[in-house]
Amino acid sequence: MTDPVIVIHGGAWAIPERLVDVNISGVEDAARKGWGVLGKSGSALDAVVAAVKALEDNPVFDAGIGSVLTEDGTVEMDAMIMDGSSLGAGAVAGLHDIRHPVDLARIVMERTPHVLMIGDGARRLAEKYKVEKLTQKQLVTEEARRELAEWLEKKRAGTAFGHETVGAVALDAKGNLAAATSTGGMTGKLVGRVGDVPIVGSGGYADNKLGGASSTGHGEAIMKVNLARLVLTHVEAGALIQEATDRALAYMMERVAGTGGVIALDPKGNVGHSYTTPHMVWATARNGKIESGI
């Protein structure tokens, strides 16, 4: 038997002082939800889904309700999940009306022969399995509107910003790892833009032999270095998990001038978390105890 653990992130970005407390309480709540599964001998997959759904329901975070807006003022959401025991993975992109994108990503993984679904196919799958929906009006928050208005004012300067991504990585009592990541993307993105989150190995990765990781930050940079899998490549080469997260982010900065953050677990439950942005809000749960930081 293995001592279970879950680690959460709520995005790597310049978190305003007025949002610090709600960000910390939000990831702590998600960690509790995940631990509520693991503490009852539940699976790592169920734990990361429970944690990410809590974040998708929290309007503080850029996922599900509270997702940031495209330049047209609409919501487009992406998500992924991966099972470290089988390397099974599922992902969805460009969702407009799904309350919990991570649920649909899991359906892709478990109910189809595919990994990534988009557009009308994803919509049909959601209808087939009766995935809960919300209208755009229900998904869009006043904070998201405010950020879009601010972005539009600065558009000529090429400024891009947002709450970034949420994610979770868990290790269960059977030694299985899982990772899940969900996002609304970046404020002011072009309609149809897809970032790193649904790209397996970029937005997240899990392999029982190596560990699990979930990424956050500048999606275009993350995709270029396959950040989540890069962390585990360093583990495979002999690095400890914290060193691996540090090295992966340093490489992304060196090669493509990209900033972001990553959380990770190794197969023994050791935690790594690192970021090159001003902040990354995170929390871990182990033995029922919550630890958090920003």
Query: What would you measure as the largest C-alpha separation in the chain, in angstroms?
Result: 56
Phi–psi pair at 137, nearest 5 degrees: -60, -40
Residue 215 near residue 227, CB atoms below 8 Å:
yes
Q: Which two tokens stand for residue 213?
A: 């990781």
Q: Among the options 70, 165, 181, 276, which is catalytic?
A: 165
Rounded to a whole number, what is the distance in angstroms from the first to the last CA of the chain?
31
Task: Return the residue matching tokens 């994108």.
Answer: 101
Spatial separation of the C-alpha atoms in residues 119 and 123, rounded to whole Å: 6
Spatial separation of the C-alpha atoms in residues 200 and 7, rounded to whole Å: 19
Phi-psi sector, 73: left (phi>0), alpha (psi -120 to 50), beta: left
Residue length of the chain: 294
**β-sheet with 271-275: strand ranges across:** 204-207, 211-217, 260-265, 271-275
Is 165 in the active site?
Answer: yes
What is the chain's Cα-based Rg? 17
Residue 190 DSSP label: P
Residue 227 near residue 252, CB atoms below 8 Å:
yes
Q: Give me the active site residues, please.
A: 165
